Structure 1
């Protein structure tokens, strides 16, 4: 899902004390001005930031698979009508076609939004679910956060370097059947909440994406055989009541790396997450993923 609420919350928090998660309402004019400012700031960075962006595509797959993952595109979520889920598939298919086959050569960076472009009706994008202030609404291009989540998770299992990733500000639905740690995704909002991945290796890496049978499939492939294995884990998971009455969920994500001989060669922090819970902490996980 495109996290429109996340982007607004981040704009507001720039003017507040560190650690304060209490939602504060701002005027629509102030939010619109902030959004326009950060949108143009991003564009200027794309043009003049000195980053070499990945542009080349390969029609055929590179020889070596690095990591594969797939996620369901139709999910029964509490109070979410299924037409939003079906529209999400349309949006995901359009964005996946823009990204699939792109190759990150050594020293290059992949920008999620620079490659996809702005999702608009003219390009075929339709209204899908957009998270907004801890709830949801329909918005053109809604659902693309599932794609950024998938790419981020796959990248954590590769030697590629994530140079920009944004955490979710809200925990909207209770856990049910979760297979990945809380906070292991990457939220997105065009264009200033981006996902950027740099290739600091000597090999080429190719992103391959496909949507079929109501599942989103992704894979990183390379010109070099993988020699490292990665494990993503969670620590310091905590649910605490904030001073203003709401609940906040937090954790830290780490990564262990093993070489071909099975030796642990690295154990590093990856991300720190904090999100406002939009449900009671002990609520039974019913009607959600």
Structure 2
């Protein structure tokens, strides 16, 4: 019923979005939450995780110029993300750092995912930056305070090097990505663009006692009511650096997403 109403009365969707944006603004005024704001020009010495992701992927039926636009959008957003420090007791918020992606700030049309479909919008493409931050944070003791997943698997894997389902959805400002630092350590994101990749590192001000690994379990494609779905589980392993023993494992994500592309029988 809700989808039918929105289809025939699209203004209701816009009103709902504005309501959710206002509600998030009010939530952000909570004085008990200390948001990460500081940035340091110099990196810390202890590397927790490095990663890079391909900037230009093979996406069927999409205009290649939109991927170039995405890169420009990411470059603008990085001015607010690169070098950000998360001190003990602080919360990192994707949208608190970046703000609204407007044309006045230089953002242009890029690819966006909405309701299981690909569309374009100002500032589109920032999901790749959010994905990078999320993957790096998973390899630290940072707590995932807020993370949203795509309910659809839109594109087949193209040079994927991380498990399916470790991406994240962001939409200003109420679909956010947030991490909380419950430790006595200070962490820093260092993210930059090279010719072919978005590259990132998360570093710490001291050496951690543990190594954090992310593993996929129970990956499968399955059919339900004449539709294909893809599911898996994402686990975070905490391993002692001193004896290489598993100290703790935590189920982070359980994915079940409808597949929107033609699935191979192989």
Alignment TM-score, normalising by the size of structure 2: 0.93
Structure 1 residue ranges (4+ consecutive) displaced by more than 6 angstroms after TM superposition = none
Q: How does 1:107-186 map to 2 (within 5 A)?
A: 107-186=89-168
Report matched runs for 1:210-225 at 5 Å.
Answer: 210-225=192-207
Deviation at 1:169, TM superposition (A): 1.4
Residue deviations 1:122-154 (CA, integer Å, cap 9, x gap):
001011111234332221101000000000001
Does residue 90 (structure 1) correspond to residue 103 (structure 2)? The answer is: no
Larger relative contact order (Cα-Cα within 8 Å, sequence gap ≥ 6): 1
Query: What count of residue pairs does the alignment treat as equivalent?
Result: 263
User: Hey, what does 1:5 align to over in structure 2?
Assistant: none
Matched, 1:103 2:85: yes
Aligned partner (choices 258, 261, 265) of residue 279 of structure 1: 261
- 2:228 maps to 247
* 2: CA distance, partners of 1:61 / 1:175: 33
Render the CA deviation track for 1:205-229: whole Å, top value 9, x for unaligned: 1111111213111111111113211
Unaligned runs of 5+ in 1: 1-11, 16-22, 285-289
Q: 2:233 matched to 1:236?
A: no
Question: 2 CA distance for matches of 1:30 and 1:181?
Answer: 36
Is residue 68 from structure 1 mapped to residue 50 from structure 2 by the alignment?
yes
Name the CA distance, whole Å, in 2 between partners of 1:59 and 1:137.
Answer: 36
- The answer to whether the 8 Å contact 2:57/2:158 transfers is no
Taking only aligned residues, the RMSD between alpha carbons, in angstroms, comes to: 1.8
Determine if contact 1:174/1:283 at 8 Å carries over to the other structure: no
Question: Which segments of 5 or more consecutive residues in structure 2 lack a partner in the other structure?
Answer: none
Distance 2:219 2:12 in 1: 35
